[in-house]
């Protein structure tokens, strides 16, 4: 794990870039995406916003919710809001949508693994949590509810709204929900973050 500031910044930027690319890979697999990406897709379908810009707007709005729960953003929090959307949009411009499960499933798996690696990178850089992570942990601290309940309520609500708007909900959405925690349990310790960290793997 790098300790110098320049290397930590490089790790942060690489992690955020790869997160967006991983999200784009899962989207192009077209078998379902992560709950927050379902919401971004739904908003993009009903507004002039691209998926990437919708992701940025959602991140900024979530960050505003930190104020009443007294969360303090770090550099990583702000860059998370700014950079994941553009990198995801870049990935969508470059990558074609694939058809047939023989291509879709491996492509989704690659995207999921890339997101898990990216999560380990950007959280391991220690510049602050993503806006969605901070909302989850802040509500947990204020309400006293178990973090899994807070996360389930937030992501369940986001998923329902995104699905209602037309976002892509499928087997990939379920796979992401079930597997991202254990996968981040593998990648986060690689970058110096303890085993309890998978609960914060939502960006």
What is the DSSP secondary structure assignment for residue 199, as one 8-state letter? G
Sign of CA dihedral 181, 162, 28, 130: negative
Per-residue model confidence (pLDDT) at position 197: 45
Q: Are 51 and 92 in contact (CB under 8 A)?
A: yes
* CA 75 distance to own-chain centroid: 17
pLDDT digits (tens, 9 = 90+) for 31-71: 999 999 999 999 999 999 999 999 999 999 999 999 888 88
Q: What is the pLDDT along the chain (203 residues), one digit of tens a residue?
A: 667 899 999 999 999 999 999 999 999 999 999 999 999 999 999 999 999 999 999 999 999 999 888 888 999 999 999 999 999 999 999 999 899 999 999 999 999 999 999 999 998 899 988 999 889 888 888 888 887 788 889 999 999 999 999 999 999 999 999 999 899 888 888 887 654 444 445 56
Instruction: For the beta carbon of residue 136, count every other beta carbon within 10 angstroms.
Output: 24
Per-residue model confidence (pLDDT) at position 192: 72
Instruction: Domain ranges for the chain, please list them.
Output: 5-198
DSSP for 102-149 reads HHHHHHHHHHHHHHHHHHHHHHHTTS---HHHHHHHHHHHHH---HHH
Structure tokens given for 46: 């009903």
Q: First and final CA of the chain: distance in angstroms?
A: 20
Residue from 128, 131, 132, 121 nearest 13 by CA: 121
């Amino acid at each position: 794990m790098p300790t110098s500031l320049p290397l930590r910044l490089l790790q942060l930027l690489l992690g955020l870039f790869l997160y967006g690319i991983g999200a784009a890979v899962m989207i192009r697999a077209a078998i379902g995406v992560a709950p927050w990406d379902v919401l971004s897709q739904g908003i993009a379908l009903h507004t002039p916003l691209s998926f990437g810009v919708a992701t940025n707007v959602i991140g900024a709005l979530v960050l505003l919710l930190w104020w009443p729960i007294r969360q303090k953003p770090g550099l990583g929090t702000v860059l998370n809001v700014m950079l994941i959307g553009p990198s995801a949009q870049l990935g969508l411009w470059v990558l074609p949508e694939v058809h047939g499960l023989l291509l879709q499933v491996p492509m989704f798996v690659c995207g999921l693994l890339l997101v898990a690696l990216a999560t380990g990178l950007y959280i391991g850089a220690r510049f602050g949590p993503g806006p969605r992570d901070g909302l989850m942990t802040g509500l947990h601290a204020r309400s006293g509810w178990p973090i899994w309940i807070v996360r389930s309520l937030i992501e369940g609500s986001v998923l329902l709204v995104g699905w209602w708007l037309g976002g892509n909900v499928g087997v990939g959405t379920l796979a992401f929900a079930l597997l991202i925690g254990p996968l981040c349990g593998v990648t986060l310790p690689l970058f110096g973050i303890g085993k309890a960290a998978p609960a914060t793997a939502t960006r």
